[in-house]
Amino acid sequence: MQDPNQRFDIYALIHKALRAQMSHVLLEAGRTDWDDASERDAALSAVRQLLGMCHGHLEHEDTYLHPAIDAAEPGGRRLADSDHGRHLGAMETLYDLAEVVERATPSLRRQTGERLYRELALFVADNFEHMAFEEREHNRLLWMAYSDAEIHRIHGELVGSIPPAQMMETLRWMVPYSNAQQRTELLGGMLDAAPPGAFNAVMSMLQGTLRSQDMDKLTRSLLSRRAGEAQPIHPQAMPA
């Protein structure tokens, strides 16, 4: 049996992106001054953006991954489907709460803002457990039933369905919070396959979000990769 550490992990990068965005938005909500209009607006906008990302991710998994998992083992998707149903309900609650905060009278702003923060914390906690389950159990089923080439094909179909703006938002979290090797593989793949304009747009966006030492390392590794000097690295690819 092939070493699981050498298999293609379809969840690795997107779950890092989601964990980063969820953690960031939760922490920001926790220190928001709900009486300050600009802080309140920024927090609510970040919460809504996060919910949009979560919704998109959930749909991608439902459409592209869960059928493959169910084909690998009938009923294999059941638990994740039930988690997704619960997450959809939680997202509706969070959207509603964001609106409640937005419309609250001054005397109720802090109270409703703190309620939103605590509900968001529960949502994030539930998602962290859910992602760990998917990484453990879904990968086990995928690796048992499919070759890496087949999983890459599923991944390619999923990634191909993501509109450019959503892809850019995903990369904004995925690249800074992946490790150096994953960044090189991801951006190297884009450099090879994406139109130069799209690649340059991603690199420009990263100028404002990637730590300078990470940008230096990425630039060096992409240059050496181009020159054919790159060492083989763990198989990670484009975002899911």
Residues in contact with Fe ion by CB under 5 A are 61
CB 171 within 8 A of CB 202: yes
What interhelical angle do 196-207 and 212-226 show, nearest 10? 150
CB 139 within 8 A of CB 76: no
CB of 211 to Fe ion, least distance (A): 29
CB of 80 to Fe ion, least distance (A): 6
Half-sphere exposure of 173 (CA within 13 A, CB side): 24
Q: Which is nearer to Fe ion, 42 or 159 (CB)?
A: 159
CB 239 within 8 A of CB 205: no
Q: Which is nearer to Fe ion, 82 or 111 (CB)?
A: 82
**Which residues, at least 6 apart from 154, have a Cβ–Cβ distance to it below 8 Å?**
10, 64, 65, 68, 146
CB of 84 to Fe ion, least distance (A): 6
Q: Which is nearer to Fe ion, 23 or 111 (CB)?
A: 23
CB of 193 to Fe ion, least distance (A): 26
Q: Which is nearer to Fe ion, 40 or 130 (CB)?
A: 130
**Which residues, at least 6 apart from 47, have a Cβ–Cβ distance to it below 8 Å?**
25, 29, 94, 98, 116, 120
Q: Which is nearer to Fe ion, 61 or 169 (CB)?
A: 61
Q: Which is nearer to Fe ion, 61 or 185 (CB)?
A: 61
CB of 58 to Fe ion, least distance (A): 6
Q: Which residue is nearest to Fe ion (CB)?
A: 61
CB of 131 to Fe ion, least distance (A): 7
CB of 18 to Fe ion, least distance (A): 9
Q: Which is nearer to Fe ion, 64 or 117 (CB)?
A: 64
